[in-house]
Amino acid sequence: MAIFRIGSDFETAERAGAGGLHQINHLVRINPGTGDEDDVFHMIDPGKFFSNGDEKSKKNYLSTIFNIPVSQIELEYVDEVDDF
């Protein structure tokens, strides 16, 4: 099982006239055995847009990037992301 914690940016899409879409602005992979977190945001395209509520497309995208079967991906969402 691969667990990813995702933060979403809705404002950029809205300003670009693409309401109903969002971008990932935070991505952490969580080790289910230890709870350790690994910031993997640098491995994705931060400019990619996703439809709001379309979890399947995010899982498909992450499956391709990390070479993990879609059925093994679990997503958790965070509302607010602290700047690092």
Q: What is the pLDDT of residues 19-49, one digit of tens each?
A: 999 999 999 999 999 999 999 999 999 999 9
For residue 48, is it within any domain? yes
User: Total domain count for the chain?
Assistant: 1
Residues 44 and 24: beta-carbon distance below 8 Å: yes
Task: Show Cβ contacts of residue 8 under 8 Å, excluding neighbours closer than 6 positions.
Answer: 22, 23, 24, 25, 50, 77
Give the per-residue pLDDT at 84: 44
Residues 62 and 50: beta-carbon distance below 8 Å: no
For residue 83, is it within any domain? no
Of 48, 46, 44, 78, give the one whose Cα is nearest residue 64: 44
- Which residue is listed with tokens 């350790």? 36
The reported pTM is: 0.88
Give the per-residue pLDDT at 53: 86
For residue 43, is it within any domain? yes
The whole domain housing 14 covers 2-78
For residue 45, is it within any domain? yes
Residues 44 and 19: beta-carbon distance below 8 Å: no
Q: What is the pLDDT of residues 63-73, one digit of tens each?
A: 999 999 999 99
For residue 84, is it within any domain? no
